[in-house]
Structure formats: structure tokens, C-alpha cells
Structure 1
Amino acid sequence: MSVETDLVTVVCVTYKSHALIEHLASVLAPFQHVVVVDNASGDGTVDAVRQHLPRATLVERAKNGGFGTGNNDAMRHVRTPYALLLNPDCSLDVPDLLTLLATLQRYPTAGVVAPQSWLADGSAQMCFRQAFYEPRLRSPYRVPDGTCSAKWLHGCCLLVRTEAYNAIGGFDERFFLYYEDDDLCLRLRQAGFDCLFEPAANAQHIGGASSTPSWKTSFRKHYHYARSRHLAIRKYLGVGAAWRYLLKTMVGGPPAAVLYGLLLQPKHALKWAAWSCSAWASAFAPSGRK
């Protein structure tokens, strides 16, 4: 076991991840420090963690608090200077972790670094970009040649400096799902920490493997995407921009859902129905106006 890995605690947040735990255990075998937070899976995930990861610190939540809340709970148990926030459907080999660690040590003002992750079909996943409110580049995603700074890093695999994470209070727990990694990176930068992308390190990301595909799951994901986007717009672009987003979605969502339904495109119909429901809920819920 590498001495450097003792500087890192691996943090995993699970939700209905039973099928992934055995493989996850093999990924985490080289690591001495592991914290798993389960978001009330109810599918045997906790039992599988106890069986395959007996040395891990296991935190069982009574209800699903979302990705950010789960990571914040886990980070309270971290005593090492670095923490690897790793999705249960993502894997990172020790040499790649050491590359990330060397990058953080080379740049002492950096608070977080992400590797290049690769999808199951062998394609490169977009792992860094500008802020969500800035214009997107029209050119296809390209893996850069060297380390670079970014305003957003993909949250599936992040090596964070524990001190920096704690300095900003971790994830904003209002983001249940989506945009929590946008917000984390932007707040780190506001606090004076850089966010780095390191293409010399590589991770494998199955993607979406922690939830069984269903119409209900898809609706919930689209719903939370729209809710989190509204929160992010309000937080970084102001109340006016947030209300414009809500009104556009409230007015345009229902007819778009009907139109796609008539065109026999149920996935698009479901998406627009979920977005419009989320917009109406955000407009009238007190939490949406905070």
C-alpha cells in the first residue's frame, strides 16, 4: 500500500447501489480510509457494504438527503488532508489517484482537481467547462494536453483538499441533485481556491448505474434538474433571471409536454412535464424564494 494513499479518505455516497458494491469494494481495496454514506437505499446496499467493505466507516441516513448532503455527512468523518469524492459507479486506479494528488501538491492554491473520466463505450466524458451561465463553446469536447483551470468539474470523481472543502462549508445542501458540483467549484473560486482539471489521470464512469431505469426515476431526475437550475440561476444571476426562467418553463412546459405526447415521443413529453411541475412548485414553495 502506498504511503501517499494514507493521505486520502475515499468518500462514496450510495443510493440503491446494491449491484455496484462488490465491484466498488475491489476499487477501494488499496485504500485504508473509506467512508460510505447510504441515502436510505432500502435495497440491500447497506448489507452489501457491511459484507464487502467491512473496514469502511458506514453512515446510514434515515432518508435520502441528496448527493451534497451525503458528501457533507461523510466529510465530517474525514481526518486526512485530502478526500476523494467518488461515485459508486466510478473507478479510479491508485496511479491515477497519485497523479491527482501530485497535482494538488504542485498547486497549493488549488482546492479540487478532477481526472478525465471515460464512459462504458470508450468515449470521453465532458469533465470540465466554463460556468453554467457562460456561453458554451460550439466545438466538440476535447481532452486538453495538460493541466488547466476550470469553473466547473464533473462531480463523479473529485479529489478535494479537506481544508478547502471545510472552509466553504462543503456542498450547498439545497441542491438535492444536479448543479451541486457547479456551485461547489464556483464557491471554491470565490474563496480563493483554484479548480483544476488533470487529463493525465483517468477514471472509468459507468454513469447512471445507481438508479434502476423507470419512468418514475426519469421524472424525478428531470424534476430535480429544473429545480436545481432555478436555484443556481437565482444564486448567481439574481432574482429577476430566476423568475424569467420559471415563467418561461411554467408557460412553455405544459404545451411542449402535450405536443411531444401527440408526436409519440414520450421521453421528451416526460421531460417537459417534469420541468413544468418543478417550475410551478418552485414558484409557490417558500423554499424556492429564499
Structure 2
Amino acid sequence: MKSAPSLAEVTVVCVTYNSSPLVETMASTLARFPNVVIVDNASGDDTAARVGQKIPHARLITRHTNAGFGAANNQAMAAVQTPFALLLNPDCSIAPADVQCLLDCLARFPQAGLVGPQSWRDNGTPQLCHRDAFFRPETKGRVRVPDRLVSAEWIHGCCLLVRTRAFHQIGGFDEIFFLYYEDDDLCLRMAKAGYQCLLQPAARAFHRGGASSTPSVRTDFIKRFHYARSRQIAIRRYVGAAAARRHLAKLLLVALPATLFYSLLSRPRHAIKWAAWGAAALSAGLTLDLVPGQAKAAASTRF
């Protein structure tokens, strides 16, 4: 009987962007894994310098422009030489024993292209880690942690163990998704290529959520802009042009009055959300490329 893969056959891949406050925790997590590749997506803070200091065994790739989450992961994956890669958000941590559990799962199910753990918040509450495809009717209610291995159309992208061969076979992340919905698209394309996407609840990860970059009004606006933009692209791709037009029309109709309404109520987070969604809808409606940081640039690599 073939022995289960070991941690030496896994490369941990992380993408950072203004993630300096998380580097200490990242260092604690990544110290336990022999193979690590980190891509810094043109951080404006000292993230890259701190990564070099605190995680010296990692291969660090520093970009001069923000390529987007998917593109940076693809760049890291091009450097991976192991049969498995753990795509790990900088605000997510996982123990070696839990990664081994994921490895054992892929060994048992050779047709699986990826497997994710059940992730938990710091307060002990579970995070939604699997569901049907985004375009199917939502089931509202409390997050229920499955008691056994499940196959799903979407597995949360904060922590994914992927087969390197399968990842490259489907072309990796589609770089049209600058941020958000890239994990939806990856899982759906895995399924189209004949691979299963699994959730192994016996493996546990801990995900702070929303902490991968330093918070600010600008960061909040950009994230919400990209959420709306990526959703529009995903709807067009998987539901159709007519559905995408209807979705766009609703956003264009509602965004301005909603922004004004929440501004008058002094609720800035809601106002920023609707302003960003409106800007994304206007960009899509006018077919403008208002997405910051997508210019191609060479990356410098330090070992």
C-alpha cells in the first residue's frame, strides 16, 4: 500500500498586501512547514521586509504592482515544485496535523482536485466553508458544520490544499477576477475538468477574516468595488448575459440613492459599500477599466 504524502510534498503559498500586522502570526504558522512561497502584492508598508526578516526560509517574490489575488497566486504556483500546494490567506492559520489530514484525504480520493478544512473564527464560531454554486438559491440559517467529508460546488478559498497538477491543468486562477469570486470560479472549473472539490471538517483552520490587509476607507472602497465587479463577471460567465444585464441595471438604479440615504444617516460603512458598488456598475456599464493595479510588471525574487 502506498504511504500517505508527507508535509515535505506540500508548498505553502501566501499572498500578502499591506499585511505587516499579520507577519508575526504568519511566521509562527509557516515555521512548521519546510516549503513556503510568499508573493507580496506591492505592499505600501513594510510587509515584504518583515517577511524576509521573520520568515527567512520562505521564497519571497516581491511585485512592483498589485496584480490581484488570483494573479499573485498563479505567480507563486509557477514556483511550486511539490505535488501539492496549500493556498493560505495571511490571516489564516493551520497546524501541520490538520494539513496532514487534508493530504490523507487527497490520497484517498485521487479524483479530488482540492480539499479545504473547516475554518473557525477567533470567537469559536464556524465559518461557512462549503455551499452550492453562488448562482443557486441560498439556504439561509445558521452555519452547520458537517460531521463527515462532503463534496461541494464551492469550498472557501482562505485555505485550500490543491493538487499542483490539477491546478495547472485548468489554468490556475482566472486573472480577470482581481479580488473575490476567484475561488468560486476555480472550484467550478475544477468540476468541469472532472475533479471533485471536498471539505474535510476533521481538519481545522482558524481564519480572522477581513484582516489580510490594513483597514482604511480606501481599502474598504476598493474591496467592495472588486466584489461587485467580480460578481458581475461571474454572473455573466455562469448565468448568462441577460442575467448580468439585469443585475447591472438594479445596481445602477439603487446605488446613488442608497449612498445618499446612508450618508444622511451617518452610516459610512453602508455609504461606502453602495458608492463602491455603484462605481463598479458604472465601470461595467460604460465598459471602462477602472480597476487599479492590474498593469503587468516584472517581479523581483529573493531567496
The two structures have a TM-score, normalised by structure 1, of 0.96
Aligned to 2:171: 169
Equivalent pair of 2:283/2:289 in contact (CA under 8 Å): no
Aligned to 2:105: 103
Equivalent pairs, count: 287
Where do 1:35-50 residues align within 5 Å? Answer: 35-50=37-52
Among 66, 69, 72, the alignment partner of 2:68 is: 66
| Distance in 1, Cα, partners of 2:217 & 2:36 | 33
Q: Which runs of 5+ in 2 are unaligned?
A: 291-303
Aligned to 1:135: 137
Q: Which has the higher helix share?
A: 1
Aligned to 1:180: 182
Among 209, 217, 220, the alignment partner of 1:218 is: 220
Among 2, 23, 33, the alignment partner of 1:31 is: 33
| Residues 102-132 of structure 1 deviation map (CA, whole Å, 9 limit, x = unaligned) | 0111100000000011111111011111100
Aligned to 1:241: 243
Identity in percent: 55
Alignment of 1:157 onto 2:154: no
| Distance in 2, Cα, partners of 1:54 & 1:39 | 18
Displacement over 3 Å in runs of 4+: none
| Distance in 1, Cα, partners of 2:259 & 2:48 | 38
| Distance in 1, Cα, partners of 2:133 & 2:258 | 28
Q: Secondary structure at the match of 1:113?
A: strand
| Residues 200-245 of structure 1 deviation map (CA, whole Å, 9 limit, x = unaligned) | 0000111122222222111111111100000100111111111111
Equivalent pair of 2:5/2:103 in contact (CA under 8 Å): no
Decide whether aligned partners of structure 1 residues 285 and 163 sit closer, same or farther in structure 2, where only a CA change above 3 A counts.
same
Q: Give the drift of 1:3.
A: 7.2
Aligned to 2:117: 115
The two structures have a TM-score, normalised by structure 2, of 0.92
Among 191, 200, 209, the alignment partner of 1:198 is: 200
Q: Give the drift of 1:286.
A: 5.4
| Distance in 1, Cα, partners of 2:207 & 2:63 | 25
| Distance in 1, Cα, partners of 2:159 & 2:136 | 23
| Distance in 2, Cα, partners of 1:139 & 1:210 | 27
Alignment-mate amino acid for residue 56 of structure 1:
A
Among 9, 19, 30, the alignment partner of 2:21 is: 19
Q: Secondary structure at the match of 2:15?
A: strand
Q: Give the drift of 1:285.
A: 2.1
Greater relative CO (CA pairs within 8 A, separation 6+):
2
Taking only aligned residues, the RMSD between alpha carbons, in angstroms, comes to 1.4
Q: Secondary structure at the match of 1:41?
A: coil
Decide whether aligned partners of structure 1 residues 94 and 76 sit closer, same or farther in structure 2, where only a CA change above 3 A counts.
same
Aligned to 1:229: 231
Alignment-mate amino acid for residue 15 of structure 1:
Y
| Residues 138-170 of structure 1 deviation map (CA, whole Å, 9 limit, x = unaligned) | 232100010000111111100001111000000
| Distance in 2, Cα, partners of 1:22 & 1:263 | 39
Among 77, 86, 89, the alignment partner of 1:87 is: 89
| Distance in 2, Cα, partners of 1:140 & 1:52 | 38
Aligned to 2:278: 276
Q: Give the drift of 1:261.
A: 1.9
Q: Secondary structure at the match of 2:124?
A: coil
| Distance in 1, Cα, partners of 2:88 & 2:267 | 34
Alignment-mate amino acid for residue 203 of structure 1:
A
